[in-house]
Amino acid sequence: MTQDVSVPDPMAASRHELAVANRILGHEGVIDAFGHVSLRHPDDAGRYLLSRSRSPELVEPVDFLEFDLESQPIRPPTVALYAERVIHGEIYKARPDVTAVCHHHAADVMPFCVSGKPLVPVFHLGAAMGAVAPCWTAATNLATPGPRKGLRSHARSGDMRWS
């Protein structure tokens, strides 16, 4: 009698876990309809997985595409892609220790981002962010010569503590 022994598929498991992460964060209101979570490729550190442009609550394992660290799709896409995918690629490129990135536009945080005042921890659990939370803006990136240089320099210096 032969026994059906299935071999675990790490990519299928990764896609499933990533879909679940997107759905939970979307359902719980942690990320908005434009938010997304990516994962460094489990077998190739020079790639990452990110879903097609879709509301996180609707993401399914089949929605994920592979990107290189320049945020170019490995296979020609037939679906819309997130424009912000370069944020993921630059963080993975600058920080080999990072295995997942979550990008979103948190309405509760936005006022602090535009106030011009530093965001500082006010109780012990906030200490993990450091003495002052960094603020990266599109203007910061555009003011630095060269494509993506501002984003790269912030990611390398550890100023982006989203990891």
Give tens-digit pLDDT for 117-163.
777 778 888 777 778 776 666 655 544 444 455 455 455 555 544 33
- CA Rg, the chain, in Å? 18
Q: Let me know if 90 is a catalytic residue.
A: no
> Among residues 57, 70, 84, 90, which one is catalytic?
84
- Give the β-pairing of 36-40 and 64-68: unpaired
pTM of the model: 0.73
Tally of CA atoms within 13 A in the half-sphere of 68 that contains its CB: 6
At position 109, the amino acid (one-letter code) is: V
Q: What is the rounded distance in angstroms from the CA atom of residue 122 to the CA atom of residue 133?
A: 12
C-alpha torsion angle, residues 98, 103, 108, 112 (rounded to 10): 70
